[in-house]
Amino acid sequence: MTRYLGLDLGSVTCGVSESDTGFIASTVETIRFKPEDYNTAMDRVLEIVEKKKPDLIVIGYPLMLNDDEGPKAQLCREFGEVLEQESGVKVVLQDERFTTAESESILLEADLSRKKRKKKIDQMAAVAILQRYLDSHQQ
């Protein structure tokens, strides 16, 4: 059975999700790091990869609305390339447009406080990214 890891890379956080079944994504953790300190983020992601042993890593790819790759999308693509090289695990990019807004809506419906939403939003976005990938690749 294929194991998946999903990532939502931000400028100070990285939401992490997983799926052992290939059908349902679930939260793992939110990695917090100093602004733009992607080396620290990479180190922690590599630790998680070592522990979880995924067969595939899915990284959110924040394309612009016109499908162009902006600086943030380029950063995610480059992070993915380094992660694939360092971990030896295949990395794919998944369009992540609107996943944070979708996640915020779900957390609001769950009636979580602003403080709790802030702690969970990145994990939920990582779940949405991975779930989108899984849904689009069902056999």
pLDDT at 17 over 80: yes
Between residues 6 and 125, the one the model is more confident about: 6
Instruction: Report all structural domains of the chain as residue ranges with CATH numbers, in order of start.
Output: 4-136 (3.30.420.140)
Q: pTM of the full predicted structure?
A: 0.87
- Strand ranges of the sheet holding 13-19, from the earlier edge strand across to the other edge: 26-32, 13-19, 4-9, 56-61, 90-95
| pLDDT band for position 65 (cuts 50, 70, 90) | confident
pLDDT at 98 over 90: no
Per-residue confidence (pLDDT) for residue 96, from 0 to 100: 83
